[in-house]
A and B are shown apart, each in its own frame.
Chain A
């Protein structure tokens, strides 16, 4: 189940990015993305868990670059999200290797995939809304709002890490 989800995530990420870049005329880059996807699957098979962090970084960079050069935002978000999911599933598959044969592996997998799906859907939904709702701000307002958002996230993360006291 997890392996299937991992392969699907890799294909979703690489397919989205490659398709968008190919359509926009970046044919060589699209080919490199596909080659990298094959390498990604190979790394998953060989259990090179460190590779997933590189791939996550790369998929986000490609998605960011794609948005910068005005490629379709939907494909780019899909590519970034696929990278995130594959990164998570690689770590989860590694974690599952610690389980004993008698442990409830299916239950663990089911719960993890359900939560991951909810998070992915929520991410896509909120990102889509953010793409659709375009408000006009001055540059100063954008900087201010971004800084406030960054500080807010930092505060929230530190509060959650402290245990929500």
Chain B
């Protein structure tokens, strides 16, 4: 087993794009952790003259927005929001996806049929509209946005988990467990799940990127949590000033793009390292 793991790490480390992604994400996590220390005061408070362009005033390296709030502070604090929502939404999606996919494959028959129809239902509902509906019904709070994003992104994970479970459930080691009289839950969680997990985790890492994009769209529309600094909201706030100060939109957008880019590169790298045969495709 350890040799497999080192093999995996070596393959990942050979992938230059994935390493770039890893460095970017580590930098982002650094910024997110350091934000309360670098900018200890509330990032949403007004600190200077409005609409100072980036690189003009050394006190505000990324400039100020239309109200005179420090963009650098909002970006740093926004990194916390982005990472937290991305991780939690992906975790929610992974939990739902694994539960649905594993039960469908393990029990088969009408359970499988019902759960797959359920999955199809969630693939049919236009996902962003569903998120907006949930947020409008439950209220504009960061927890609800996170859960809503998780609820619309679990379907690919359910499908993958189901496929992995299908290929594993009739293997000899599972039959041996059955013969020993192990219960369903123990076989599913203790025996099959650990073997099915690696590709599912890879997919979950890609779901984080999708969740970040979702959250940014919801905040951009002004339906995110109004009390929390978020990159999407910053773009939405700056929209009215694109004729004079388009940098207010450009800077947080670049942050979103780099984050999603880095997460995608890591996800692709993990995928390639996991399936070395597919690499040359």
**A and B held together in a complex:** no
